[in-house]
Chains A and B, each alone.
Chain A
Amino acid sequence: MYPPKLQQIVDLFEALPDMEKRETLITYADQAKNQGPREGETFDLEDVRKDEECTDTVGVFLKVNPDRTTHYRVTLGPQVQTLTKAMTAILCKGLEGRTIEEVLAVPADFVPKIVGADLVRQRSQTVYYILTRMKSAATVWRNRDRAAALG
């Protein structure tokens, strides 16, 4: 239903009681700082901006391999909220190696399974933001690819 690595993360969270869910989210949030571009990495698309929906600048960096599998890196400004940080680490891991089409097909309904319905209700703008940005980058790349194919 979801990409296998994302499914593993969903399964992990679904098995956790609420308090442990929060602790695990914080653990993922701590890992967000490691999701930025590494020295020497190059990307096919870089999208760094500050949107109304997020409290600070978010940069999405996308590398697409010849077989259309993707590799995402994400940078976050210091004011970004903890939930956004957690979703960044979860999505970078969960979508690693999936094709452009698979990324675009990921349904957003995994989010409440990870975060819990309460947090989604209270902070809906935060929990979906990174997925939206990653899909947006994938869409831009696909459109450019299609335009290039048309010559």
Chain B
Amino acid sequence: MSSYAHPEALVSTDWLAEHLNDPDIRIVESNEDILLYSTGHIPGAVHIDWRSDLQDQTVRDYISPEAFAELAAKNGITPDTTVIFYGDKSNWWATYALWAFRLFGHEKVKILDGGRDKWIAEGRETTREIPKPAPTEYPVPPKRYDDEIRAFFDDALAQSRARKPLIDVRSPGEFIGEITHMPEYPQEGVLRGGHVPGAKSVPWKRAVNDDATFKSADELRAIYEGEAGLKPGDDVVAYCRIGERSSHTWFVLTYLLGYENVRNYDGSWTEWGNKVRAPIEKGA
């Protein structure tokens, strides 16, 4: 049985329960359910919202390095702080927040395996008390690592034309073009359905167990290498609808399977499916 490439990227609920007061960590909750944090959260956890905190509120882009530094400082984070993310929906939004932190070069990041669901299911302590960490000085990151871990439309198009690996992590119905948004979620304005030519379908949720923990390394390899045909060393682009689900797959490939060249195409289908003359494949 093989192990994760970077097992240190995960912490267990047991471990976190014993390290809640460690001064070198900051626990960050990031959810789909915008009010969930306020109903009770892990003691000491701060809340970072994927939309209002991490995204620019005017342009479709992420916040600036200056705004990131301000966000980190406000939440008591320094470049040496290990940030442990967790959230609802099997850590879907937590991995999105983690990916956004990596965009600004924050390297010390981990995920609570099982996320909020597992913590609650185990009956562990929660609180409604909002922590007030002492503000820090977080230096403005010299750059945003867009080139390294983020793909744009032209990158995804080049990937498709070169027949290099593209992983479509949306639901099967979205992949084959029957629907343009995932079940349970709103239509965000996509004119065409289907997928990027050459993309393989691996819905993001296949990477997690029913208790929201990640599947074993062997199981993940069977899915991404056995079924989808990825090979260690591949240059991979993952996409979904707006880049949130694919950040989960980005985490799995990067940290759990050790792929070194994985980029998240956050424009994803809401950009591709609206782009005039963008090539589209339909069907399985």
Chain A contacts to B: CB under 8 angstroms: 22-23, 25-26, 29-30, 52-55, 81-83, 86, 118-119, 122-125
Contact = CB atoms under 8 A, between A and B. Distances in A.
Nearest 3 CB-CB pairings of A with B: A82-B35, A125-B186, A81-B33
Contacts of B51: 122
A23 B38 contact: yes
A123 B188 CA distance: 12
A83 B32 CA distance: 11
B183 A22 contact: no
B25 to A, nearest CB: 26
Nearest to B50: A122
A26 B52 contact: no
B184 A82 contact: no
A123 B184 contact: no
Interface residues of B, number: 13
B39 A29 contact: yes
A15 to B, nearest CB: 20
B39 A52 contact: no
The A interface is mostly helix, strand or loop, or mixed, namely helix
B184 A22 contact: no
A26 B35 contact: yes
A86 B33 CA distance: 12
A83 B35 contact: yes
B52 to A, nearest CB: 7
B184 A119 contact: no
B15 interface: no
B36 interface: yes
Given A81-B32, A122-B51, A54 B184 contact: yes
Nearest to B184: A55
Contacts of B34: 81-83, 119, 122-123
A109 to B, nearest CB: 19
